[in-house]
Amino acid sequence: MNPLNKTINLAAELIRCRSVAPEDDGAQSLLQEKLHAIGFQIFEVPCQGRKNFWAETGRDGPLLAFAVHTDVVPEGDLSGWTVDPFAGTVRGGRLIGRGAVDMKSQIACVVSAVEWYLSEIGGPGHLTFRLGMFVTGDEEPEGNFGANAILDFLAGRETRIDYCVVTEPTSQEEFGDTVKIGRRGSIHGEIRLLGQQMHSSHADQLINPIFRSLPVLKDISEFNWCPGNAYFPKTTFQFTRIQASGGASNTTPAELSCEFNLRFSSETSAQTIQNQVEKILSDSGVNYRTRWNCNAHPFLTEPGPFTELVRDAVRKVSGIHPQYSTSGGTSDGRFIAARGTALIEFGFVGNMCHMVDESAPLEEIDKLQQVYQQILIHFANHPTLGHRKPDA
Ligand SMILES: [Zn+2]
């Protein structure tokens, strides 16, 4: 079978596993079988009912890992789909199904590239580095029971990933135009402003939390959050919910609650943002409570030999010089990079992620497996990165 058909078949097989977390539906055992057959040792790392595993091959030398997730978001509104979302249908030059873009086709591309590379060099015994597969079953949407479980397992056996490629869709307009070297942080806040429920004819502005919220929320929303830097856009603020009701048209509410989200750069921190909001609140003299949840801290891999190597691999296949970016949502990269790994993300154009009729062009699948092949070749041939130290 030609290599592209093999990759498409594996991607379609993975799509047929309905792996909406916490379900896995056979996706990981399918991958384990493939990886085991080409010389990987498998270590299962289950966590809170989620399946995860680490696979490794190669004797010694620096550790390069590909990080993937097998879970997908639910199919959503089924009436919008023109095919069964879990059938893995090929139509009009595209593979269609939930996870076609994010990220089952990309997993198939990695497995094909690794299989090709190992056979090219004559088997894992000829690797000059160690090769890992970091496979989580819990990335969407919070990712609490996936990446960190594997990282703790690796720490327990004193294994550190030196270099990592996360196979998320990163291209913006055209395949190859963007690689991600970091991601913004994300913090969610809730403010409760306390007042008094009263007949509206008796209440004044001091006890009505709606009145009291107006200058405060204006100050918070207009605050000059940090401007970003060479790799990060400026920090953004967004209200996501506001609610206050006295239950009747002539009654003031006892409380106003408001939720908001900030996406922030590595120039600031979750703690600094919290302090700024709390200062505005306490300076205003309102009676308030806050609740915070930071589910992603920002990370950045400064451009260097590894990020350049990946860029070269992308350019070689796509003919495009990719830009470095830190935009978009979160990924498992944030957990892995936090442990001191040089990390980069590259994959398809991501505009079909999570949509109905999610689909990947077969042509991009072909190119992506070639990019991952090139990364392996470039890594092995790199003068400093991909070699074990000469025997002493
Ligand atoms: Zn993803």
Task: For residue 102, report the distance from its CA to the centre of ligand 1, in Å.
Answer: 5
Task: For residue 96, report the distance from its CA to the centre of ligand 1, in Å.
Answer: 16
Tokens of 347: 């994959």
18, 112, 141, 274, 304 from 31: Cα distances, Å: 14, 11, 22, 42, 32
Coil, helix or strand at residue 259: strand
Its pTM stands at 0.87
Q: How far apart are CA 340 and CA 161, in angstroms?
A: 8
Percent of the chain at pLDDT above 70?
A: 98
164: Cα separation from own chain's centroid: 13
Residue 77 appears among annotated catalytic residues: no
Is the predicted pLDDT of residue 392 greater than 80, yes or no?
Answer: no
Question: Minimal CA–CA distance to 36: which of 63, 57, 59?
Answer: 57
- Higher-confidence residue: 116 or 140? 116
Percent of the chain at pLDDT above 90?
A: 86
Maximum pairwise Cα distance, the chain? 87
Residue 71 appears among annotated catalytic residues: yes
Of the candidates 56, 75, 102, 139, the residue annotated as catalytic is 139
Task: For residue 224, report the distance from its CA to the centre of ligand 1, in Å.
Answer: 32
Task: For residue 103, report the distance from its CA to the centre of ligand 1, in Å.
Answer: 6
Domains of the chain, start order:
3-183+298-381 (3.40.630.10), 185-296 (3.30.70.360)
Of the candidates 56, 71, 115, 364, the residue annotated as catalytic is 71
What is the phi/psi pair of residue 133, to 5°? -120, 120
What is the mean pLDDT of the segment spanning 188-197?
95
Distance spanning both ends of the chain, measured CA to CA: 44
Task: For residue 72, report the distance from its CA to the centre of ligand 1, in Å.
Answer: 8
15: Cα separation from own chain's centroid: 19
Task: For residue 57, report the distance from its CA to the centre of ligand 1, in Å.
Answer: 24
Sheet strands side by side (includes 359-361): 89-91, 94-96, 359-361
Q: Write the DSSP symbol of residue 205.
A: T
Sheet strands side by side (includes 63-69): 41-44, 53-57, 130-136, 63-69, 163-166, 342-345, 178-180, 323-325
pLDDT in tens, 283-294: 999 999 999 999
168 Cβ partners below 8 Å, 6+ apart?
A: 102, 103, 106, 180, 331, 333, 345, 347, 350
